[in-house]
Amino acid sequence: MEEKRDPYKHKERWIEWKAQIQANGGIPDISKANSDIILAYLTDMESGINLGKGCPKTRRKPSRLNDLKGLNKNSQLKLLNSRININDRR
């Protein structure tokens, strides 16, 4: 089976980012607790688990994962604070 073209190198960027985050011990500029939660969310998306009711239960493509990790950190932290009440204290 031939692999699809990836002219924007989404898969390569995702793998490099994930390796860099694992080497650094988390996402920089946010607390360890918030970093762990965001990484768990992205891992779930990569595996295709813990998705909404209407979503197909399949793995997310590297392009979508790059979009999710690239979202504004402030919006991610607001989501965390509103849903599970974790404040970003360093």
Q: Which residues fall within 8 angstroms of residue 69, CB to CB, at 6 or more apart?
A: 14, 17, 42
Q: Taking the domains of the chain in order of start, what are their residue ranges? A: 31-90
For the chain, count helices (H), then strands (E). 4, 0
DSSP state of 1: -
81 — pLDDT class (breaks 50, 70, 90): low
Q: Give SS3 for 43.
A: helix
21 — pLDDT class (breaks 50, 70, 90): very high
* CA separation for the pair 65, 40 (Å, rounded): 12
60 — pLDDT class (breaks 50, 70, 90): confident
pTM for this predicted structure = 0.71
Residue with the bigger pLDDT between 15 and 86: it is 15
